[in-house]
Structure 1
């Protein structure tokens, strides 16, 4: 599925590259299929940022970089978790969890991203966080509902995202944990923290 290019001008306040330069760097790190996904996430993230008042430029940058580490060598990711003093509990999980926090490190190191909110959006896009900023919510939801996604519940998630971003976060979090439980998969503790904040009722 080809995603129409998003036209966002970069001020270089967040990153020392134009959007075209960033696209070239991101494209080198992933398959064409993954790159199409990234473009889809950017499209939705920009739309959500416009609707809810987040920075459109920051949303574009975070969306384009969010899967920067997704297809990195597993040993490289493993070693980086250790050398960067990340939560060593990560090592009990796979690259599906690793690529968020590792991606944030690489975004800072290789792409010179200094904005902590963008880094957090990359860091938390897989399992969320108990305290997500507006930008983090935008990327978390955009990754779930981008046009290439096709699974039970995604249309409902898309409708919620258009009316209430926090409800979309809640819906996505609940559905993800339900899926993991159904598949009897290990659940990273921070995903449970996200659930307790965004889904669980007092």
Structure 2
């Protein structure tokens, strides 16, 4: 997909956008995304690239992200919601306009890696789960999600999103509507297939 020189140039651009801890996380997500893609049948190169790019704007000032989102007519509920979500939506715009990434699957995987959405593609699920389980993550329940991700990507994602929703409720923060819809979609599909 990209040669060694291109890969190194890309990583240099990504590295320039973030501090050391975020960059280590980014490398962990790319590695985890490739591994999950190989396990579940997504394109490993696309998964790895989306992993490298998923937090491209994470360390940017919120004013800069807000400006990008406003200029691109992002939904009002996004702009009025938690700023922690902005980097994913702004990142999808920026990697397309500034880095020339045009693959819609990669752009969608970056855009929805924090919120999820109903009807997620396999690549979107891979990147979202990889973001939760990469080796540098350490939070209550991460080992359970890692174990689930070895067997069932949808269950791992439902568990991860459910944990996020619960955490936000406990902190009395808003839950972005797409996250609730994504969780409900995964659980409904499982139930329709006779899952537990």
TM-score normalised by length of structure 2: 0.92
| 1:138 positional shift | 0.4
Picking from 131, 136, 152, the partner of 1:164 is 152
Alignment of 1:28-43 (within 5 A): 28-43=16-31
Residues 6-28 of structure 1: CA deviation (Å, up to 9, x unaligned): xxxx347xxxx721111001000
Picking from 74, 84, 89, the partner of 1:101 is 89
RMSD: 1.4
SS in structure 1 at match of 2:47: helix
1:180 and 2:189 correspond: no
The answer to whether the 8 Å contact 1:140/1:169 transfers is yes
**Structure 2 regions of 5+ residues with no counterpart?**
none
**Structure 1 regions of 5+ residues with no counterpart?**
1-9
In the other structure, the counterpart of 2:103 is 115
Specify which structure has the higher proportion of helix.
2
Alignment of 1:28-177 (within 5 A): 28-177=16-165
| 1:60 positional shift | 0.9
In terms of mean alpha carbon deviation, does 68-77 or 134-143 score higher?
68-77
The answer to whether the 8 Å contact 2:55/2:88 transfers is yes
TM-score normalised by length of structure 1: 0.89
SS in structure 2 at match of 1:86: coil
Q: Provide the aligned length of Structure 1 versus Structure 2.
A: 189
Stretches of 4+ moved more than 2 A in 1?
199-202
The answer to whether the 8 Å contact 1:62/1:122 transfers is yes
